[in-house]
Chain A
Amino acid sequence: MSGQKRQKQFGKFLVNLTLLILVLLWTVPTVGIFVSSFRNRDKIDTSGWWMIFPHREWQPVRELDPKALGLDPNSVMTIEGVSGTFEEFRAGIETPDGKRLTWIGNKRIGKLEVQAQVWAVDWDFSLDNYRQVLGGQDFEFKRPDGSVEVVPGDNMVNAFLNSLAVAIPSTVIPILIAAFGAYAFAWMKFPGRRAMFILVVALLVVPLQIALVPILRDYKALNLNGTYLAIWLAHTGFGLALATYLLYNYISGLPRDILESAFIDGASHFTVFTTLVLPLSVPALASFAIFQFLWVWNDYLVALIFLGGNPEFELVTQRMAAIVGSRGQDWHLLTAGAFVSMLLPLIVFFSLQRFFVRGLLAGSVKG
């Protein structure tokens, strides 16, 4: 009995250990980026983020003048009990007493540094990356009359509001339509139901990219280009197939008894849909809402085409792409940018998560 128990515990331990390793593997890069986002560019360039942990570092104690010591860098040099060539001294040679001799500079005007190992932590953090991402960069213009004018760049508030204005309707509209559609496919009898449903499912495999030019043409004819309505409709269309399919799976699985008793009591389809099906499907609605919201929030291509890259309508994703500069020289800002743009999706995820975790159906058949 106890042997079995021990075996069980060991199995549990093994599972937990594997999970722990996987979690670490997945999160270490994120932690690295997070730490890097608080370091300035030169720091990221010259040392790793793990330098924030205590480590041993060589630091100069005193300097020696090779010329005064009569050393010839073109041959083997001997000093303080160690000897080596110029190249070896450049890389640093450790002396028997735990010090290190390093040649700094070139052969002609260089110097020797005696270095000792000390414990160090690199805690030189700055909020500069976040300031530039959120507040925008400043640009200096030197006027011909010699004056300097500073023109502030755009901050991120606008991009955030624009992204919200795109993402929320683009999430709510397809959910509403898809819920109606899924209900119809699951509980209403009409000719061609199967064929239509297969058509919707088939649309799942159509890549949205092939629709870009035709839709843009239609929008041009309707004068919809570069408006919010255009992108809401586009996201609705692109998301509808998956939404209908997902919600159909859930809604068709609702207990037949509840709905049938409602119909017997004389409820219309609309009443059943609004009072029974919608509340019961909250978990499915919430999980699709998360999918769709994340997809729209992270979308770059669709917004680029239908909002036309107009700075007026710049979204967070476009802002992030622009933030590295036209030649990628400001890549270090992406560290902070990633966390700023991650913020809202995380909030959405955690606030909607509880809806699909809860078992809404538990005991509902009894009534």
Chain B
Amino acid sequence: MKKVLWQVLALMLVASILLAACGTPATEEVATSTPAAFPYPAGGALEEALKGAYNGKTVTVDGAFEGNDPDGVKFAESVKAFEEATGITVNYIGNKEFEATISVRVDAGDAPDIVDFPQPGKAAQFVASGNIVPVSEYLSDEWLTQQYNQSWRDMVTFDGAEMGIFHRFNGKSLVWYPKKAWDEAGYPIPETWEELIALNDQIVADGDTPWCIGIESGAATGWAATDWTEEMMLRTTSLENYDAWVAGDLAFDSPEVKKAVESWSAMWFNDAYVFGGRSSIVTTFFGDSPTPMFDADGPKCWMHKQGNFITGFFPEGTVAGEDYGFFYFPPVDPAFGKPFLVAGDSMYMFNDRPEVRALMEYFTVPESASGWLQGGGALAAHQTVTPDMYGVELEKGIAELVAQATSFRFDGSDLMPGEVGAGSFWEHISSYVAGSEDLDTAMQAIDATWPK
């Protein structure tokens, strides 16, 4: 018996070593260069790469999504054209604990070549420690001006130096509604704030509740409320004030910010307007909150404001344009135009090698986001993107709304220091919604946590 045990153990050891041997990647086959199906800046590393100069080289990219999850598959699709045209292998190694592991890896001197940061704010610490190579060292201002609207470049500029390349984004200023029931009930799409309020009252008069709202998200509870605050900041005050607020120069306890918070809380705290009433907002999981829109007995609530990723939480089998539709979250004050709130991913170069530069250059063209454009889930940040590049109607529709926007700004809480943007802001805005803190207390408490 004992002998058997040892034999089994020995066998398993041998087997696992064999497994390990099989697991190591096979040698890469040499790709043949084909003419590039995407534009590229003249005289750069990408041009050299297209001639096959870096054939067989490998570039490592790290990010916050797993290599095998939907985003990972879309990333692989997106860089396929680059790999085929240059013979360079792009090795993506992301994981969900990216925010923790990236610091460990960089500290240990094992930085990946390129990092895909889901928030530019996260890159700030590596900009400060000098790990990131500035964009000006490998791309011309002329090329970037051609590829990007200035706002996108501003978002990846730290203390005057442009450090990253904006890649793709999600639109947040969107309101979702159950299209079938909506059309049956004959509700109009509101285009101004007054129309939205009128619609709210119409829905209440019909015996329903207009809004589905939930901000519960485990340790991140409250982030959905920070989005509403940012939307209202953009709609009730100037862009300068928004930027000052994000940078910490305009206090939370200022009349501008308090007015923005009150503009949404007036709606949230009206029990007739929110499904389940004010008290249910903090305890409803954000992903579950739109579900009552698709109730079998007709919508329990009719509108839900959230970024385009929320469609992943809609019940299985619901189709965009049939079961649900979306409209632009209406502006409040015409003086501030039609602002658009976005969040998205930008790329940063950590190791300066020609093949890495080539991939960074590739990220400046919309073809580098093709996996998302054709598979859905994000929009290209490049102004050279054309509607026919979008394969998915939903994203195409959002892109049209974005094109009509007069200004856009990145999700402010993602740009603030972590203590505030991913800490006290969430915490105290949740307390305010729950009713355990009044507005002044909450705002002052957030101000107190801003790092000096």
Residues of A with Cβ closer than 8 Å to B?
A: 40-42, 45, 73, 86-87, 90, 104-110, 136-137, 139-144, 151, 153-154, 161-162, 164-165, 167-169, 172, 212-213, 216-217, 220, 225, 228, 279, 282, 286, 300-301, 304-305, 308-314, 318-319, 321-323, 325-331, 355
Contacts and interface: CB of A to CB of B under 8 A. Distances in A.
B19 A308 contact: no
A141 B23 contact: no
Contacts of A325: 69-70, 312
Contact of A168 (B16, B68, B287, B389): B16
A44 to B, nearest CB: 11
B95 A304 contact: yes
B23 A228 contact: yes
15 contacts: A104-B297, A104-B298, A106-B185, A141-B371, A144-B391, A165-B17, A217-B108, A220-B108, A308-B93, A318-B66, A322-B95, A323-B69, A325-B70, A327-B312, A329-B309
B314 to A, nearest CB: 9
Interface in B1-16: 2, 5, 9, 12-13, 15-16
Contact of B206 (A108, A139, A326): A108
Contacts, number: 172
B422 to A, nearest CB: 15
A109 B182 CA distance: 11
A63 to B, nearest CB: 12
A197 to B, nearest CB: 26
A228 B22 CA distance: 11
Interface stretch (B42-50, B97-105, B249-257): B97-105
A169 B93 contact: no
Interface string B367-380: 00001001100000
B72 interface: yes
B172 to A, nearest CB: 13
Contact of A107 (B92, B96, B205): B205
Nearest to A103: B207
A29 to B, nearest CB: 19
Given A172-B12, A310-B93, A327-B309, 10 more contacts: A45-B291, A104-B298, A106-B206, A165-B16, A169-B17, A308-B93, A326-B71, A327-B287, A329-B287, A329-B313
B97 to A, nearest CB: 6
B374 A225 contact: no
A329 B96 CA distance: 14
Interface of B: 2, 5, 9, 12-13, 15-17, 19-20, 22-23, 25, 62, 64-74, 77, 91-98, 101, 104-105, 107-110, 184-185, 203, 205-208, 287-288, 291, 297-298, 309, 312-313, 315-316, 371, 374-375, 388-389, 391-392
Nearest to B311: A329
Q: Is the interface of B mostly helix, strand, loop or mixed?
A: helix
A305 B207 contact: no
Given A108-B206, A151-B77, A309-B62, A216 B108 contact: yes
B316 A220 contact: no
A216 B104 contact: yes
B73 A144 contact: no
Contacts of B185: 106, 108-109
Contacts of B206: 106-108
Most chain A CB within a 10 A radius of its CB, from B9, B15, B62, B388: B9
B287 A109 contact: no
A109 B205 CA distance: 12
A309 B25 CA distance: 15
A180 B73 CA distance: 47
Contacts of B374: 141-144
Contacts of B25: 312
A139 B70 contact: yes
B316 A153 contact: no
A142 B208 contact: no
A239 B94 CA distance: 27
Contacts of B207: 73, 86-87, 90, 106-107, 110
A310 B91 contact: yes
A314 B93 CA distance: 10
A164 B298 contact: no
A305 B73 contact: no
Given A106-B208, A153-B73, A172-B12, A45 B288 contact: yes
